[in-house]
Amino acid sequence: MSFPFITDWHFYAVAVPAVLLLGISKSGFGAGFGSLAVPMMALAVTVPQAAAILMPLLLAMDVLGLRALRHHIDRKLALFLLPCGLVGTVIGTLSFRLLDSRMVAGIVGVFTLAFLAQRLLFPPHPGGKAAPRWAGALLTVMSGFTSFVAHAGGPPLNAYVLPMRLAPLVFTSTLAAFFFVVNLSKWIPYAWLGLLDWRNMATSLVLLPLAPVGVLVGVRLAHRIQPAMFYRLVYLGMLLTGLKLVWDGFAPEIAGSRGGP
């Protein structure tokens, strides 16, 4: 019997924890861990297919998370970030067919680890200033671009927003609003690129019940967690994300340069 969705259990062994982690991240940790979702699912399917399967789930999670957190959005910051993020999605759309998704993943991973090292080796002091707006604009464009290519927009945006030391709920809510608009803007380009086929959409429906579970856990954590622990967990998410993206981006090239058996 032929099913319209993916039936391989290996896929669901990585997809189920990936979706739960994404839901927790979307509502609780400002995309700190969420960037791991596509790399995890890419263990069983291609990066573009993983990104396409996650599209309906992202929309559901964005709506649920934004509904719970909308009163805490820093509107001034969101209005600055959104145009830059949308520029990034346009760049991603125009260059998608020309890109090696592994190399993009590797570059984002290196950037993520470099930022994390800078934060840990040279922690911000009280009264320190956030990055200038031009740097924030560039990082947010990069966030929109990497979000379009691999749903990995969290690390570049974190690099700009984290030094602001926003309250956890404000941080999470503002990023939730940003990614809601950015993810919504990706639907037409993804359809134009042929990524939203029936098999991918049917597989999304199978995974959809997991979306509110992850979001609910994330919202509860965001309301209860202490700011110091919150940022430690965000940094941990960035470390894991950076390592996984670097591995996905450069390990195949290293193995290839050594030659096959």
Residues 127-169 have pLDDT tens digits of 556 678 898 999 999 889 888 887 778 778 888 887 887 887 7
HSE, side-chain direction, 13 A CA sphere, residue 154: 32
Domain for residue 89, yes or no? yes
Task: Tell me the mean pLDDT in the region 69-92.
Answer: 91
Q: For residue 1, tell me if it sits in a domain.
A: no
**Residue 187 CB coordination number (10 Å):** 13
pLDDT level of residue 80 (50, 70, 90 thresholds)? very high
Residue 4 belongs to a domain: no
What are the residues whose beta carbons fall under 8 Å from the beta carbon of 167, sequence distance 6 or more?
72, 227
SS3 label, residue 45: coil
CA distance 184 to 12: 25
> Is the residue at 124 inside a domain?
yes
Instruction: Give the range of the structural domain holding residue 188, as residue numbers without chain letter.
Output: 9-258
More confident residue, 51 or 134: 134
**How many structural domains is the chain composed of?**
1
Give the pLDDT score at 123. Answer: 62
> pLDDT at position 261, please?
45
User: What is the residue-averaged pLDDT of the chain?
Assistant: 79
Residue 227 lies in a domain: yes
Least confident of 31-45, 70-84, 146-160, 245-259: 245-259
* Position 193 in a domain: yes
In 3D space, the residue among 189, 182, 190 whose CA is nearest the CA of residue 83 turns out to be 182
